[in-house]
Chain A
C-alpha cells in the first residue's frame, strides 16, 4: 500500500509555456500532499504544502504565482509551472501524507529550453 504516482515522468517545453504535473495517491486518501524540488546531488527542497479544499502553503522564497498548486480531491494534487524559464528546469517530486508518514512519487524531470 501507499503508492503515489506522478505524471508526466518527464517533460520538455519551450520557454514561456506552462506545464502541469499531476500527483495521485493510488491506494489511500491524502488530505495533505507536498511538492518538492531537487537539484542534482542535492537534497529535497520543500516548495509547498497542499491541503485538500484549501489554498496551498508556500515556503519562503517560492513564487505563488509561478508555481500554482491545486488539491482538487483527496487523491489528486497538481503543480502548474507558469511561464516556465530555463531556470525552472529541475526534478519535481510530490509526496502524500498518511498517518504522519510521507510517501513519494517517482518524480517529474522538467527541462525548459
Chain B
C-alpha cells in the first residue's frame, strides 16, 4: 500500500513563529487532506488539497502531486495551534480509504 511520511515528527515553537510541515507520499493520489488533532482527540479538517495551493487564515497548504509531497504552512503561530497534524491520502488505484501519516506533534509555547 501507499506510504505516507511526515516531517518533522516533533516541533516546538514560540508563539508568533512560522513553521512548515511536510508530507511525502509514495504513489499517485486522488485525495489528500490535512487534519489537526486537538488535545481532546478531535480530528479537525484543515484542507482538502490533492493538488495546488489553498489558504485559510494563518494556515495555507500546497500539494505538488507530480512530486508526491504536500506542505502545510502555519504563520504567526498561537498556543491554540498546538496538537498533532496529520496528513492523509487516498490512493488513486485502490478503494476509498485514507492512509494517515504518523503525524507532526506541534507545541507552541507562550
Q: Do A and B bind each other?
A: no
- Where the two chains meet, the residues of B that have a C-beta atom closer than 8 Å to any C-beta of A are none
